[in-house]
Amino acid sequence: MSERVRILGLDPGLRNTGWGVITVEGTKLSYVACGVVTSDGDLDLALRLKQLHDRLTEVIRAWTPDEVAVEETFVNKDAQATLKLGQARAMSLLVPALHNLPVAEYGANQVKKTVVGVGHAEKDQVQAMVKILLPRAEFKKADAADALAIAIAHAHHRKARALASL
C-alpha cells in the first residue's frame, strides 16, 4: 500500500495568498480544501506581513500538511511590486519552515506544464485542468485554484525530487 501524503500548495501574494490542500496516495489525487488568506491593504507592510504569517499558521494548524509547495516569484518591470511579492513569498516559505515542514519551490511555467501540458497556459486552462484532476474542488478565487495547481505539480514531481537529492 502506498503512503498517503498531504500537500499544501501556496500561491504567494501580498494582498491574496492562495492555498490548496490535496492528498496523494500512489497516483491518486484527492481534494481536501482550499482558500485565500488576505492582508489589509490599509496597514503598514510589516503588519500586512504579520497578518499573512498568522493566517498561514492557522491554515497549517487546521490542515496539518506533510509537505508544502510554493510558487517561485517572477520578476516584472515594477521593482517595488516585485519586492513586495518577494516579501509575501518569504512568509510562504517561513511559516512552513517554522513548523518543520519540507518546502519545495516551482516556477509558474513548470506548474502549468505539469498540470496543463503547456508551460504558457492561460489561467482558465489551469483552472479547467484542476477541476478535471480534482473534481470535488470548489474554489471561489483564481489564487486558490493556482495553489491547488502548485500542490498537484508537487505531487507529480516529489518522487523525482527525492531521488535527485540522494
One-letter amino acid for residue 145 of the chain: A
How distant is the alpha carbon of residue 129 from its chain centre? 16
- Which SS3 state, helix, strand or coil, does residue 56 take? helix
The active-site residue out of 40, 66, 67, 71 is 71
Catalytic residue among 40, 72, 143, 146: 143
Active site residue 11: yes
Q: Residue holding cell 527525492?
A: 162
Q: Which of 11, 42, 138, 146 is catalytic?
A: 11
In the chain, how many H helices and how many E strands? 5, 5
143 is catalytic: yes
Task: Tell me phi and psi for residue 77, to 5 degrees.
Answer: -70, -25
Catalytic (active-site) positions = 11, 71, 143
